Amino acid sequence: MSRARNPDTRASGLESGETSDPTDKGPFAKLSWIGGNVPVSRTYSESYYSIGGGLGETRHVFLAGNRLPERFRSGFHIAEIGFGTGLNLLAAWKAWVDSGQTGALLYTGFEAFPVEPDDMKRAHAAWPELAEYAEQLIRASQAGQSRILTDSLKARILPGDARQTVQNWTGAADAWFLDGFSPARNPELWEPRLLQAVAARTRPGGTFATYSAAGRVRRSLKAAGFSVIRLPGYGRKRHMIRGWLDPVARNAQASRPAVSPETLDRNDLA
């Protein structure tokens, strides 16, 4: 699901006089729109992806950040916190097919507030190159299906609070897309305990990538057992981070307490 932060590459989509309402959490995401095709969460007052180019951001942050498609292999599994409009899935699915893989890409998405099919279709219209993949996703969504099963993709979207659904998930990922709304607006998806669960469900040599370079996120991921590096972000965003599971660090950190919110300063909340 992404977010629209500060004056970087994402923006608030609330109209003049409107305010966000964190209690407005119905079964579907409540949206506003920027420029007709960039969806913005009315709950979190952030866009789902960069207003400077959602697909470009996906490829820069989540694909390149996880060294995809070069790491693709048979049985490769992507997991994503913040499914949102499904843009990251569509881009990864296309990259899988374009790279000549045989068999199916495995994908698990975690999403608390699904986007309605009509809104999903409106967002996807910005990327004609993804149309054949988007049509299959939208058909499944319209039918109320949480799975997409094709020759090239086996995907499942798990609804609910990721703090619970990730803990309950018995799978393991080769690559994680950490794409919740920003830590300042949606701190639940960046809690140390959740990121520890992510690490515990990462295969040896597995990776993560995220647009957020907030200090609290970096420290929590390191504490969970990931090696973390900061890289240039997409567009006008200065930084992003990527990393890989370090088994030695994971074992050393497993018995240590999680980062306490009381230790965080204001700069960690961006």
- Over residues 58-74, the pLDDT tens digits come to 999 999 999 999 999 99
pLDDT value of residue 159: 95
- Report residue 221 as tokens: 């991921």
The SS3 assignment for 88 reads helix
Quote the mean pLDDT of the chain.
86
pLDDT value of residue 46: 95
Residue 30 belongs to a domain: no
Residue 32 belongs to a domain: no
Instruction: Please state, in angstroms and rounded to a whole number, the distance separating the CA atoms of residues 58 and 63.
Output: 7
Model confidence at 155: pLDDT above 70: yes
The SS3 assignment for 224 reads helix
Instruction: Please state, in angstroms and rounded to a whole number, the distance separating the CA atoms of residues 94 and 83.
Output: 16
Residue 45 belongs to a domain: no
- Over residues 73-129, the pLDDT tens digits come to 999 999 999 999 999 999 999 999 999 999 999 999 999 999 999 999 999 999 999
Q: What are phi and psi of 221, to 5 degrees?
A: -70, -40
pLDDT value of residue 235: 86
Model confidence at 6: pLDDT above 60: no
Share of the chain above pLDDT 70, in %: 82
Q: Which of 6-10, 12-16, 48-52, 137-141 has the highest mean pLDDT?
A: 137-141
Model confidence at 36: pLDDT above 90: no
Instruction: Please state, in angstroms and rounded to a whole number, the distance separating the CA atoms of residues 181 and 44.
Output: 7
- Identify the bridge partners of residue 241 per DSSP, sorted by sequence position: 210, 230
Instruction: Please state, in angstroms and rounded to a whole number, the distance separating the CA atoms of residues 85 and 74.
Output: 26
Residue 19 belongs to a domain: no
- DSSP states of 176-221: EEE-PSPTTT-GGGG-HHHHHHHHHTEEEEEEEEES---HHHHHHH
Residue 14 belongs to a domain: no
Residue 11 belongs to a domain: no
pLDDT value of residue 63: 98
pLDDT confidence tier of residue 250, bands split at 50, 70 and 90: low
pLDDT confidence tier of residue 16, bands split at 50, 70 and 90: very low
Residue 36 belongs to a domain: no
pLDDT value of residue 173: 98
CATH assignment of the domain containing 56: 3.40.50.150
Q: What's the structural domain count of the chain?
A: 1
Instruction: Please state, in angstroms and rounded to a whole number, the distance separating the CA atoms of residues 65 and 177.
Output: 9
* Residue 241 belongs to domain spanning: 52-269
Name every residue whose Cβ is closer than 8 Å to that of residue 64 and which is 6 or more positions away in sequence.
Answer: 209
Model confidence at 10: pLDDT above 70: no
Model confidence at 23: pLDDT above 70: no
- Report residue 263 as tokens: 């230790």
Q: Which of 234, 255, 251 is nearest to 65 (CA)?
A: 234
Residue 75 belongs to a domain: yes
Share of the chain above pLDDT 90, in %: 77
Contact 42, 20 (CB under 8 A): yes
